[in-house]
Amino acid sequence: MTLKLGLWLLWAGFIAYILLLAPPLHLGETLTLLKNIFTLQWAAINPIILSLFSLVGIWLLIYSSLLFIDGRMQSIPFWPFAITSVGSGVLGLLPYLALREPNQQFSGQKDAFLNLLDSHLYGIVLTFSTLVLFVYGFALGDWGDYVQQFQSDRFINGMSLAFCLFYVLFPTVVGDDMARRRFPNAEVFLAVAFVPLLGSLAYLCLRPPLVSSTISEESLRTNR
C-alpha cells in the first residue's frame, strides 16, 4: 500500500511539476523538433537530444519486455498503458505500476509476441542500439546547447527527468520478473537496480527463459 501511494504521489507530483514549475513550453520549437525526428531530418537536431528521445523509447521497450508478461496475470492488462506511454512516456506507465499487484508466477503458454519479448535476441538488439546512441550522443553532441535547452524548454526538461524516472522505477517490477524465472538472487537484483540502463539491458540479455506455470490465470486473479 505504501508503494502504491508513493507511485500515485510521484505521478501527481510529476504532472504538477511539468504544469507549474518546469520551464516554459515552446510549442512551435517542440513541434519542429518532433517533425524533424519523424521525417529523419536528424542533421538539424542536437545528437544528445535525439539520443535522449530514442533512449526514452528504449526504456519503454525494456519495460514492455517485463510488463506484457506481468499483465497476463493481472486484473488489468498492460497494453492500454503501453499505448498511452508511447505519447506520454513515464506518465502513461506510472498508473499501471500503481494499479498492478505483486505477481511472481506465470500461467499458460507464451504466444509469438511474448516469445519475442522474452528472447535474448530482443535484449541484445536493445543493448546494441543503446550503445550506438550513447556513442552518437557523447561523441557528436553539443552539451552546452543541451544544458541551455534543459533549463529553458519544458519538453527537453520533462523528457530528461522522465528518462531518470524510468531508471528509478525499474526495481519496482524487476523483482517479480526474477521470481517468475526462479532465480530471486539479491546480487543480481542490486546489479540491475543500481546500474543505470545498462544493468537493465544486461538483465534482458542474460535472464533465463520464462517458465510456464500450471496455475490458471483465473485462479491467480481470484486469489488476489
- The distance from CA 210 to its chain's CA centroid, rounded to whole angstroms, is 20
d(Cα 188, Cα 157) in Å, to the nearest integer? 32
Place of cell 490458471: 216
Beta carbons within 8 Å of 108's beta carbon, 6+ residues apart: 72, 212, 213, 216, 217
- pLDDT at residue number 212: 66
Which residue's C-alpha cell is 481470484?
222
Separation between Cα atoms, residue 11 and residue 9, nearest integer Å: 5
Give pLDDT < 50 ranges for the chain: 214, 216-224
Q: What is the pLDDT of residue 168?
A: 93
- Give pLDDT, residue 213: 60
pLDDT at 187: 81
Cβ atoms of 54 and 125 closer than 8 Å? no
Cell numbers 499458460 label which residue? 108
User: Which distant-in-sequence residues (6+ apart) come within 8 Å of 57 by Cβ?
Assistant: none
Q: Residue 73: what pLDDT?
A: 86
Its pTM stands at 0.90
Closest CA to 205 of 131, 119, 143: 119
d(CA 90, CA 97): 10
